[in-house]
Structure 1
């Protein structure tokens, strides 16, 4: 009995070490995804864009070094653009803003277009009953723009490459009550290649059929804890089965026809600084011209 207890304690200690130190701080998952995009012009066909999210700089026990590694890896991989799905910081503090902006400034220095939306933590919304910290928000947005970031809130921006254009539409934060998908898509020309960026996957449900052949989101952290090694199930998949996608490609039933959503696990934490079977993720999305300009279908569709 004594040896069984010792074994259990050793197992628990190992799990804590793995989940709080090894996996979240040393094991970056470079998730490579291919996606077909209707009307994708030749100069963008075959190009790779990086998707990052949820640095949560400033959380106790945070993994800022992993955020730095993800950015450096994206640059080293030669991405044509970098997208950020929100939550640069964790709570209102100007020092957190300086650290977060210092990390992503590397894209400007590398000459890589950097487009972002804000997440609930960027508004200092720790939960849906919190109030926006306007001072920190203003400082964050000003510093990000000074570092070369294009910030989108229910608007779209064209990215030029070789004379061709790829549009990125960015949807505002759900928790900040700024999610207006229709406004975000209004600026995208008909039959134009587009990516749709959002923080909270809940915004995806409001997109009309065919508007978002490739939508990208964060916010969930993949649930941070996966229950069975080798499987993608997290506690989120169980408690909200059929209602939410914790990470990866969303079920067709979560959105309108012709739309497709990918949710990244992001980098940081919320609540507790732990990740188990849910590594920090840098998503590398290789864009492909859709055959016959059909709506995008994910690799597991």
Structure 2
């Protein structure tokens, strides 16, 4: 009986330590430096850096707004050529709660004020969808979209824009680098065909989406760099085995949670990177899965 008691106490101690760490890790920011090769990349974009962040989840209990502020400050210091925000700005805002939309605006405002071009797409929580079967709140999403646009964030929904390289005054025609923004998958708004139709066939491009599964809709050789969020990296992952997270066990289909998705997924010539995000859902903990800022250095494909 004594040995059983010690085993149970040891297990309780381990669980307690993990719980404490899970509450601390969300404030440890991980900056991932990656290289992305883009065919036909203009010289003005070669070597430029693009930052990706995702999943703020403002309105989640014990939300991680302090980490968002620190990441925004970091990006202002580092001054990438672009900042891309891959959706889920808010968690479940509605008319009766504190103004999560206002908080999102105030958190992103310093990036725009610093003169860093900032683009975003909406995620499922921005439509108040915490499940695939939940009805999308179009009014909430529209209010958030408009508020972010008003503060200077260029929001995209199945749209493509020609980007201006740092130091240039305007895009340079068909050789411009394009940003393709895809709508929310759960809200049934993701239509890459419409967005890609706005990009000249051989023009270099980046693709921004919230849900990684939207990547499957991209035709071959149309997305040399695609970035997504949504998964939070699994949020709780086994030490030394980051591919094993709680999502691995609760999902029956294939899980694409973190980093470069190297398995057979999507069409030839397309590449997807999934950012771990900053906030959380269900519980305000992260274990072996710290918040992520991804900084891509663009290079012309050889």
Q: 1:253 to 1:3 in 2, by over 3 A?
A: closer
What is the alpha-carbon distance in structure 1 between the residues aligned to residue 253 and residue 137 of structure 2? 34
What is the alpha-carbon distance in structure 1 between the residues aligned to residue 255 and residue 38 of structure 2? 24
Point out where structure 1 has 5 or more consecutive residues left out of the alignment.
Answer: 292-301
Alignment of 1:22-171 (within 5 A): 22-24=24-26, 26-93=27-94, 95-161=99-165, 162-163=167-168, 164=172, 165-171=176-182
Deviation at 1:3, TM superposition (A): 4.2
Point out where structure 2 has 5 or more consecutive residues left out of the alignment.
Answer: none
- Secondary structure of residue in 2 paired with 1:210: coil
Q: 1:175 to 1:241 in 2, by over 3 A?
A: closer
CA RMSD of aligned residues (A): 1.7
- Secondary structure of residue in 1 paired with 2:244: coil
TM-score by length of 2: 0.91
Write the deviation string for residues 33-89 of structure 1: whole angstroms up to 9, x where unpaired.
111111111111111111010000001121111111112112211211100110000
What is the alpha-carbon distance in structure 1 between the residues aligned to residue 20 and residue 263 of structure 2? 37
- Is 1:201 aligned with 2:218? no
Match of residue 224 from structure 1? 235
Q: 1:242 to 1:256 in 2, by over 3 A?
A: farther
Deviation at 1:238, TM superposition (A): 5.4
Match of residue 12 from structure 1? 15
Deviation at 1:244, TM superposition (A): 2.7
| Structure 1 range deviating more: 130-139 or 198-207 | 130-139
- Secondary structure of residue in 1 paired with 2:44: coil
- Secondary structure of residue in 2 paired with 1:259: coil
What is the alpha-carbon distance in structure 1 between the residues aligned to residue 237 and residue 163 of structure 2? 36
What is the alpha-carbon distance in structure 1 between the residues aligned to residue 135 and residue 180 of structure 2? 26
Q: 1:277 to 1:131 in 2, by over 3 A?
A: same
Deviation at 1:189, TM superposition (A): 1.1
Match of residue 184 from structure 2? 173
- Secondary structure of residue in 1 paired with 2:12: helix
Deviation at 1:237, TM superposition (A): 4.0
- Is 1:264 aligned with 2:267? no
Match of 1:247 among 240, 245, 258: 258
Tell whether the 8 Å contact from 1:71 to 1:106 is kept in structure 2 after alignment. yes
- Secondary structure of residue in 2 paired with 1:286: strand
Tell me the number of residue pairs that the alignment of Structure 1 and Structure 2 aligns: 289
What is the alpha-carbon distance in structure 1 between the residues aligned to residue 69 and residue 280 of structure 2? 15
| Structure 1 range deviating more: 237-246 or 158-167 | 237-246
Tell whether the 8 Å contact from 1:252 to 1:260 is kept in structure 2 after alignment. no
What is the alpha-carbon distance in structure 1 between the residues aligned to residue 111 and residue 204 of structure 2? 23
Q: 1:128 to 1:149 in 2, by over 3 A?
A: same
Match of residue 279 from structure 1? 290
- Secondary structure of residue in 1 paired with 2:37: strand
Tell whether the 8 Å contact from 1:169 to 1:195 is kept in structure 2 after alignment. yes
Tell whether the 8 Å contact from 1:243 to 1:254 is kept in structure 2 after alignment. no
